[in-house]
């Protein structure tokens, strides 16, 4: 195991990480997008993005796009490279505000978090469409890990923290249990060649209806490219 530092809240750090990784000339068979914050007070990333949207979504959007060429070169017909993005059931109540992705008009920690998780599902579906259109041996899937007992809840109201402390053993998954579906998506033979899936408890399930809106997927992709400063070659694809 070799550690390479990458701060998903910094576009500069992401680009430096990709440079370091590419310099090693290593193949890339599995990319798991799993960084995130939840219900943080209103604040910005180093690039001025609202933190939920900037770290949870845009950081992974840029990282994945910068690594796509390596992923495409690493995948084969019999063994596709795999991209697994971790979302949340919160995406079901999320609303994507294309005219205010930074939540400047009215900030809500819950709304901003849910929007970032919905954006990850829309991103995954659009990415899989583009990979298929290009004939790439890469698949993209999105995972709901469930309610997991981690430090992600450190910004919730103190009453919720007390309830969590008292009931975690009964209602929350352990980190190991929470990782099971991500691992399933990354290595299971059953997922070979399968992309564009929303997975929960190691099973394919239906995501929010709005996530299947192809026009919304396209518009979010185009806007995201502008935000992170990469070319939107995908806009020329159907």
- Hey, which residues are catalytic here? 113
Q: What is the CA radius of gyration of the chain?
A: 17
Q: Partners of 140 in the beta sheet?
A: 83
* Spatial separation of the C-alpha atoms in residues 22 and 206, rounded to whole Å: 36
DSSP state, 172?
S
- Tokens representing residue 108 in the block: 């809500």
* Alpha-carbon dihedral angle through residues 87, 185, 84, 66, given to the nearest 10 degrees: 180
Cβ neighbours of 191 (radius 10 Å): 20
Q: Where does residue 215 rank: exposed (0-12), middle (13-18), buried (19+ CB within 10 A)?
A: exposed
Buried b (16+ CB within 10 A) or exposed e, 52-73: bbbbbbbbbbbbbbbbbebbbe
Q: Residue for token digits 């929007």?
A: 115
């Amino acid at each position: 195991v070799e550690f390479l530092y990458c701060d998903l809240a910094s576009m500069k750090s992401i680009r430096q990480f990709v440079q370091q990784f590419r310099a090693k000339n290593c193949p890339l068979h599995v990319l798991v997008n799993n960084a995130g914050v939840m219900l943080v007070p209103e604040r910005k990333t180093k690039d001025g993005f609202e933190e939920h949207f900037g770290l949870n979504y845009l950081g992974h959007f840029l990282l994945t796009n910068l690594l796509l060429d390596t992923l495409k070169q690493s995948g084969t017909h019999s063994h596709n490279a795999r991209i697994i993005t971790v979302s949340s059931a919160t995406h079901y109540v999320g609303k994507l505000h294309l005219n205010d992705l930074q939540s400047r008009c009215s900030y809500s920690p819950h709304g901003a978090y849910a929007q970032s998780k919905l954006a990850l599902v829309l991103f995954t579906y659009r990415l899989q469409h583009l990979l298929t259109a290009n004939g790439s041996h890469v698949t993209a899937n999105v995972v709901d890990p469930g309610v997991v007992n981690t430090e992600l809840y450190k910004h919730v109201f103190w009453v919720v923290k007390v309830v969590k402390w008292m009931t975690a053993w009964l209602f929350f998954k352990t980190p190991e249990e929470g990782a099971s579906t991500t691992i399933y998506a990354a290595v299971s033979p059953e997922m070979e060649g399968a992309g564009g899936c929303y997975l929960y408890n190691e099973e394919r399930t239906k995501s929010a209806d709005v996530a299947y809106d192809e026009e919304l997927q396209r518009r979010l992709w185009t806007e995201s490219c502008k935000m992170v400063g990469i070319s939107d070659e995908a806009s020329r694809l159907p």
